[in-house]
Structure 1
Amino acid sequence: MSTLNNNKVHPLTKVLMVQGTTSDAGKSTLVAGLCRLFVRKGVKVAPFKPQNMALNSAVTIDGGEIGRAQALQAVACHLEPQIDFNPILLKPSSDTGSQVIVHGKALMKMEAEDYFGKNAEGYRVKAMAAVKESYHRLTSNYDMLLVEGAGSPAEINLREGDIANMGFAEEVDCPVIIIADIDKGGVFAHLVGTLALLSESEQARVKGFVINRFRGDVSLLQDGLDWLENYTNKPVLGVLPYLHDLHLDAEDALIAAPEKSSDTKLKVLVLVLPRISNHTDFDPLRLNPQIDFNYVSLQTLAKSQAQDQQALPPADLIIIPGSKNVRADLEFIREQGWDTAIDKHLRYGGKVLGICGGYQMLGQAIDDPSGIEDIAGCSEGLGLLPLVTELTANKILQQVEGHLTLLGETAPVQGYEIHCGRSRSLMPLAKPLHLREKSGEQVSNEQQPGQAEGMLSSDSQIMGTYLHGLFDSPEACQLILKWAGMEQAEAVDVNRVREQQLDRLADVLEQHLDLERLNQIWQASRVKELSEKQHV
């Protein structure tokens, strides 16, 4: 945990909270874009999300776990991800339960009835204390804090224990702007209805609106904008255009691959599990124009109108991704008959890759004696690799770097590990990765080879690893694609794409947002705060 001063508050820190009328209204994207916009102007800015609920997460430089969106926003600020950027993270492990992560560390499994029911206020007190601890550390060290809400502030059933939206804004007395997605339809009803469901004091702290994903000539919207401003007495701070092909890390939504030509060179399938996690691993493959990439789910199979719904489409490589509930998702694979389809795929010479939870599923058994993810018990694995896994309470969280060796070639690689399982090999097989904890120092692989990790089957058809971000390193991605059957592979540098897209987003915000009004919001808030301090 960071040791920053918890009591000193930077006297010039500007704080702004972005809330949305719905989930996926554009909160994360707007905050990321504002982060990049202001850091380009020389402002020392940091992102902040008091509470997040997501299956996609990232490992921080200080050895914790935060939401994927806050890791992206940290990149936008040219910062390493830190636990304070997202002090409370809820990771659903079942339909009614979530793992609660406070300051980067999993503390307990909390059932929905406890979280949303009579114990909500008790949880709120503890969680808000953690949130304010991080908030004070950040406001002590940054000139600007851009805060992201969660879902909608108008959820009546969640207001009592709220720390994610207006509950936080009221606690720290910060201004709020609300963003709505016009592409969903009903944007004026969303904004007016959200405002109407807030308390009087909450309405007063809403300083303006942003309309997102508008297509066409904005002048055609002007009458509606004028009406909205007159009706609510709140300004519209900007109308953002629909950004086609905006390629940024998604927090939860699975984004289909962009349109590609018919002459792709490799077909890759990723199995969509009910508790799939960290699917951003596959963005470099999804964006690669040479790869026919598809997420395979019950919905996509139904749409294909295949006679055999249990059959998987033909592929060169099948990937079993990470999971927040490995044993339940393994059972799901069996229920769909996908285990049989994977066996058939292997008999025809296809390749299979398991990452994190998918790696565990490839083994002989997964034992959860303490019920870490769900009900205690032991499940038989797919039996494709000679390893057994036991789930333990202490989660491994670390950024790593090293090298990958396949086909007699070696490539540098870096990423992160985030898993409860400890896997044990039952027989000696090749370990394709050598990894060490990332230190930030420039050290060659020869000087520090690291620990052997992962497993490669004796026939080289099946590979498993705990490493997330495996495809983010272009050289390692090329080598894996070559192993999968793609000669002369060209990899997408997803880190460069991310930087380009953040700059593109910042350019759009600078053009379409009223930055002068934003500055006035901050100035009014600062005058009020200084006046209150002088009064005290």
Structure 2
Amino acid sequence: MADAVMIQGTASDAGKSILAAALCRVLAQDGYKTAPFKSQNMSLNSYITKEGREIAVAQAVQAEAAKVEAEINMSPILMKPIADDMSQIILKGKVYKNMKAAAYFAEKDRLLQIINEAISELKTDYDLLVLEGGGNPAEVNLRDKDLVNMKAAEIAEAPVILIADIDKGGVFASIVGTLDLLTEKERKRVKGIIVNKFRGDPDAFKSGVELIEKHSQKKVLGVMPYLKDLNLPSEDSLQQKDYGNQDFKLIIAVIAYPGMSNFTDFDYFKSAKDIQMRYVKRAAELGNPDLIILPGSKTTINDLKFLYNTNLAAEILKQADKGTEIIGICGGYQMLGQKISDPDNLEGNEKEIEGLSLLKIKTVLEAEKITRQVRAEPLNKLNFFKNSSGRVLSGYEIHQGKTVRASEQQAIFRLKRQKSGEVEKIVYDGTVNESGNVWGTYLHDIFKNDDFRKSLINYLLSQKGLSPNLEAEKTAAEIREDNYNYLAAEFRKYIDLEELYKIIFDN
């Protein structure tokens, strides 16, 4: 019996993360204690584990699908781009250093040791591992640098299932070309193929399946349809898109600066029937939204300069004067302040930059990264969340920097930070302006809290003279569970599970 199986793809965004999540839920439903794993991830969307360690959000999603707790071994190496040729490297959940590609790959032996240890520890604790690859395994110019595809499969002794995205076109060439460029040993490791994102009836692709099997000499395990109604967090910026139906009553504008991070914070608005959410990159696209969100940022100073250079800053200030609700999360919170200082040049050569001055706060960027899950008690300072004493909200922090409020500015949350092995500390977070329409917080995932999110939506509706939505709705957790179960049901319907289980158990 193999104790691991790997999902690789013919290209980025082929659907590896989603199908790995599907397989995790199927295996969990069938009684297997399953762990997701991706040896090396590049993403600006991250998650904080209970131990206060930072991992890729994709593996947190897959862990939830597998009904297990997310942990650092599932995502031992995370790369967070900060420039075209530079990334912040997170090893085993902690910041290592900023590195260019050449310096990073020069440490390949150390990285392989980390991957080996993570796989070994996971195999001790779980029945099965579902590995996810990155990009395409046949990038021949990078074969000697591979840490995430065939090298990871070799370490885990995992058979490989190759995923091909038919929606982009060229599916035959991508499959056959990928297999042709693999070494003979690598090709033997590929035990099956899944065609993904088919629009229409997958049964109509029978002749295509026959052609793929003829030219590849590999079994096609199934043809997955395009799952347009799926609502799960994504690690990939390629999947940013506008959401909403024709009956929307409110417009949420998320400012999509180049270094935007953790845009999954806003996934919880996707299923709200009254909401249209759109990503805005230019001043002309802003219009007159009911809510503007400045999201997290991996390069806060550069993204603030982007707001000035695109005239988005001026438009945001106009909206603030009109009374539009404006929220800053993490880096976006820092931008709403009066000044951001970078004395140690953590983000470049800019020592200091003026903020939007919508909040009376100042931020100094620091090398130490704060990564903690938190419980937050609201302090009744937000217009839409009054009389909230006694309620406890959940979230997590991922930031480098300390923010100081002016004496007349009020905090909006009392936090109890959770981190394994530490005494719980009481601290205060967030700031709101005097009129209450501009506020910011360091808390990611704050909108996952159902009462908080629904109160905000109903407040915005009331501000437009519209009736609040009082219909009973599913919680964010219930919606997420529905998505995992729907995904698993579709996987069972269209994939030859008997053949897949033979690959896993008889390999």
TM-score by length of structure 2 reads 0.92
1:189 aligns with 2:189: no
Aligned to 1:5: none
Q: 2:186 aligns with which of 186, 202, 206?
A: 202
Match of 2:215 in 1: 231
Determine if the alignment matches structure 1 residue 93 to structure 2 residue 82. yes
Contact 2:202/2:224 (8 A) holds in 1: no
Q: How many Å apart are 1:459 and its aligned residue?
A: 1.5
Partner SS state of residue 227, structure 1: helix
Out of 57, 62, 65, the residue aligned to residue 76 of structure 1 is: 65
User: Which amino acid letter does the alignment assign opposite residue 238 of structure 1?
Assistant: G
Task: Report the Cα offset of residue 371 of structure 1.
Answer: 2.3
Matched residues in 2 for 1:177 and 1:20: separation? 8
User: AA paired with 2:11?
Assistant: T
Asked whether the 8 Å contact 2:243–2:277 carries over to 1, the reply is no
| Conserved 8 A contact 1:94-1:374 | no
- Quote the sequence identity (%): 40
Distance, in Å, in 2 between the alignment partners of 1:231 and 1:362 is 57
C-alpha displacement of 1:489 = 4.7
Q: Which amino acid aligns with 1:260?
A: N
8 Å contact from structure 2 (residues 123, 129) kept in 1: yes
Q: Does 1:251 align with 2:235?
A: yes
Question: Do 2:326 and 2:438's aligned partners in 1 also have CA atoms closer than 8 Å?
Answer: yes
- Map Cα deviations across residues 133-178 of structure 1 (whole Å, 9 max, x no partner): 1100000110000000011111123222110101222334321110
Measure how far apart 1:73 and its partner are.
0.3
Counterpart for residue 437 of structure 2 = 461
Q: Does 1:275 align with 2:255?
A: no
Report the more deviating stretch, 224-233 or 316-325: 224-233
Say if 1:310 and 1:336, in contact at 8 Å, map to a contact too: no
| C-alpha deviation, 1:13, in angstroms | 6.0
SS where residue 368 of structure 2 aligns?
A: strand
Structure 2: which amino acid aligns with 1:488? P
Q: Which residue number corresponds to residue 417 of structure 1? A: 397
Residue aligning to 2:406: 426
Distance 1:77 1:244 in 2: 22
**In the TM superposition, what are the counterparts of 1:128-527 in structure 2 within 5 Å?**
128-253=112-237, 254-262=239-247, 264-298=248-282, 309-310=283-284, 312-375=286-349, 377-404=351-378, 405=380, 406-407=382-383, 408-410=386-388, 411-438=391-418, 450-484=426-460, 486=462, 488-489=468-469, 493-525=475-507
Q: Distance in 1 between matches of 2:100 and 2:272?
A: 40
Give per-residue Cα distances to partners, 1:385-440, cap 9 Å, x unaligned.
11111111111111112233333321431111111111111223221112212479
Paired residue secondary structure (1:498): helix
> CA 1:311–1:76 in 2, change beyond 3 Å: closer, same or farther?
closer
Encode CA deviations 1:93-146: one digit per residue, 9 max, x unaligned: 11111000000011010113434xxxx2x3221111111111000001100000
AA at the equivalent of 2:394: Q
SS at match of 2:144: coil
Q: Is the 8 A contact 2:4 2:156 kept in 1?
A: no
Aligned to 2:30: 41
Checking the alignment, whether the CA contact within 8 Å between 2:138 and 2:178 is kept in structure 1 is: yes
Q: Which moved more, 1:244-253 or 1:402-411?
A: 402-411
Alpha-carbon distance in 1 for matches of 2:425, 2:408: 19
Q: Which has the higher mean CA deviation after the structures are superposed, 485-494 or 515-524?
A: 485-494
Corresponding residue for residue 3 of structure 2: 14
> d(CA) in 1 for partners of 2:365 and 2:358?
19
Say which is worse superposed, 144-153 or 248-257, in terms of deviation: 248-257
> Match of 1:8?
none
Q: Residue in 2 aligned with 1:6?
A: none
Q: Aligned partners of 1:239, 1:292: CA distance in 2, in Å?
A: 32
Corresponding letter in the other structure for 2:257: L
Instruction: Give 1:311 deviation, angstroms.
Output: 6.9
Partner amino acid, structure 1, of 2:468: Q
Offset, 1:72:
0.2
Query: How far apart are the structure 1 equivalents of 2:419 and 2:89?
Result: 28
The letter of the residue matching 1:112 is: A
Paired amino acid for 1:256: K
The C-alpha deviation readout for 1:252-280, integer Å capped at 9, x for no partner, is 23443444134x33222111110100001
Once the two structures are overlaid, the 10-residue window that deviates more, 213-222 or 200-209, is 213-222
Deviates more, 1:96-105 or 1:427-436: 427-436
Q: In angstroms, what is the RMSD of aligned CA positions?
A: 2.0
The C-alpha deviation readout for 1:12-40, integer Å capped at 9, x for no partner, is 66200110000010100011000011101
Q: How far apart, CA to CA, are the structure 1 residues paired with 2:250 and 2:486?
A: 30
Q: Matched residue of 2:366: which SS?
A: strand
* Contact 2:3/2:158 (8 A) holds in 1: no
Matched residue type, 2:300 = V
Whichever residue aligns with residue 365 of structure 2, its letter is L
Contact 1:48 1:86 in 2 (8 A): yes
Does the C-alpha gap of structure 1 residues 260 and 449 become closer, same or farther in structure 2, counting only changes over 3 Å? farther
Aligned to 1:9: none
How many positions carry a matched residue from both structures?
491
Q: Contact conserved, 1:367 with 1:389, CA < 8 A, in 2?
A: yes
CA offsets 1:217-267 (integer angstroms, 9 cap, x no match): 3343222212221222210111111112111111123443444134x3322
Tell me if 1:23 matches 2:12: yes
Partner of 1:304: none
CA distance in 1, matches of 2:469, 2:302: 35
Pair 439,111 (structure 1): closer, same or farther in 2 beyond 3 Å: closer
| Code of the aligned partner of 2:70 | P
Matched residue SS, 1:471: helix
Amino acid at match of 1:385: L
> 8 Å contact 1:49–1:164 — kept in the other structure?
yes
Shift of 1:468: 0.6
